[in-house]
Structure 1
Amino acid sequence: MSAAPSCVDKVYGAMTGPQRVGQLFMGAVTASSPDRQKIQLMRQSHVGSVFLAGRSSAGTRATKALVDSLQAQADTVAGKRVSLLVSTDQEGGHVQVLSGPGFSAIPSALTQGSWSTSYLRSQAATWAEQLGAAGVNLNLAPVADVVPASVGRNNAPIGGYDREFGHTAATVTPHSNAFAAGMARSKVLATLKHFPGLGSVRGNTDTTANVVDSVTTRTSSSLDPFRSGIKAGAPFVMISSATYSRIDPKHQAVFSSTVIKDMLRKDFGFKGVVVSDDLGQAVAVKAVPPADRAVNFLSAGGDLVLTIEPTQIPAMAKAVQTRMAQNSAFRDQVDQSVHRVLAAKQREGLLSCG
């Protein structure tokens, strides 16, 4: 195993400071109509990951052409390209960014949850193959949130769109695992979301401020799908922007070291990449200046800042660099985060030291 870290260390060692910081960001590109100015801005900030956003019915071939053009602009370090993590939301039902020729119409997670796990695993492997054909290597799915039947459609972010695999941890856990395993089988990285769960809230953090979960504790059974998925080797976990009053009432989860460092890293033993929910346009974080959003998330133990609004990245990156210069503990933490992102890229074949 000793060869693996040395490749990451080699690339890391050859990077400039701004290149390292750029690996901590994932900026959105509208899949159907990419904004060249925003792409150029991300390139100038050395952004290491992109999120295909919106809705595109252009199909796999056209999407691949877009992704190839983005990959061609990725940074080179010591003469070798450090390729981009290219992600999207390909859950199914209401949440399927990419469709058209070459893509299946994916049913909702609630429907997927009624299937046998072996059938779901094989279907997910097919969907991941389609993503791979389009150049996508990271899916921001599965949704591991448990929406209790008593809440159901009154849960705006998940239940309102049938994004949950079921109403109990006993249903969600094996189906979330099967979806992630199918993705892995076809070499697409999966992301468990939205830790520590959005199943017991009412408001949608994308469109609502002050969303609070007053139910979930550090030992709730609704955490089982995350615990099980992490044990199975989930490479990415996305953090929710809600506040969990029985876990850390003073901080939104995405800014909470109790949630990220204590629960996710220590209690659950997660060693992969921690990605934020959208820190760009989400109403849940509007009260926090963009620069502080990035610094606070990374300080809390996060690794990869997702923003639907890439124009915020220069200010965010500058704030991160400033804090690194002032604070050695923060600097060490950022170094670890960059290493985690690069390690994920290496496992995905996006990094070569040959």
Structure 2
Amino acid sequence: MKLLGFEFAPLFIPFERRLQTTVVFQWTVSFIFLGFSSLGFFIFLFFTRFYYISVAYLAWYVYDFNTGEQGGRRFQFQMNNPIWRYFRDYFPIKLIKTVELDPSQNYVVGYHPHGIMSAGAFCNFATHATGFDKIFPKIRSYLCILNGQFRFPFFREYLMSSAIVSVTKRSLSWILQQKEKGNFLVIVIGGATEALEANPGKFILNLHKRKGFVKIALQYGAHLVPVYSFGENDLFLQMRSEKRLWVKNLQLKLTKLLGFSPPIFHGRGIFNYTFGIMPFRRPINTVVGKPIAVPLIKEPTQEDIDEYHKKYLTSLQNLFEEYKGQYGIDEMQHLVFQ
């Protein structure tokens, strides 16, 4: 039903779709608001008769401060939580394997594109909803995110209950130097700047100057793996800034200052399909490419880093070209690295 330019959802739809919408709404609100809300709640408790909760948690927070950089604290129940299957089916999200992964190796994985909220990265690699543990047996995934997210009280516990860790060099090194191999470290390489380019039909990746992930792969002999999620950029509509350069310049300055991007975007609502903060129902197909063998070089030179960075870009480009036709992308469309 359409009213005042809005397309509203039917009154009667299958209960399962209602559950999918509820779970995705919870995740979206958590992504946008839960960090600062938990900080506000933590401070608020200090001024109530329940102040002892914040005092006790503060002691725990100090004691546990580095856990996000030491492999996190995943819970299998949360990884296998049934609610993530509703999250998966909302879009839906699929994980596609192209080759087997050797559990005797470690992997540094580039996830592309960033999109607005990296929904595919979360579902595929921070949960088992798409069957990562079955598709790649004996491989342990980690989704690496900004370290600042682990500074929010309470929220950090929610993050670490899934396979989420900090993306700092210290964090990556801690995991890669463990005796147990088969670690699969997923980094959303393009970062906050790339999120500002997330729009349907755009394939712009912020990669030319992003080489830190290659350096750490060389330092630990971890194989590089390109991953491309077809559909990640289709979940939201973002205000285009080509004709409003002052807006884009402001966004870039805020991104540099804050560490995260402030895109101006919208998706759909809970009860309408036209406008809101929830992602549109668009399929996401996440293709895991072939690993690039990387030698162990404790002190790689810039030439070493540039060589394997170039190999990575070529492999990612080939992955995109091979699979784009299967997911409705025009033959004339190509990845643009900037």
Q: State the structure with bigger RCO (CA 8 A, min sep 6), 1 or 2.
A: 2
Structure ID, larger Rg: 2
Q: TM-score, normalised by structure 1?
A: 0.28
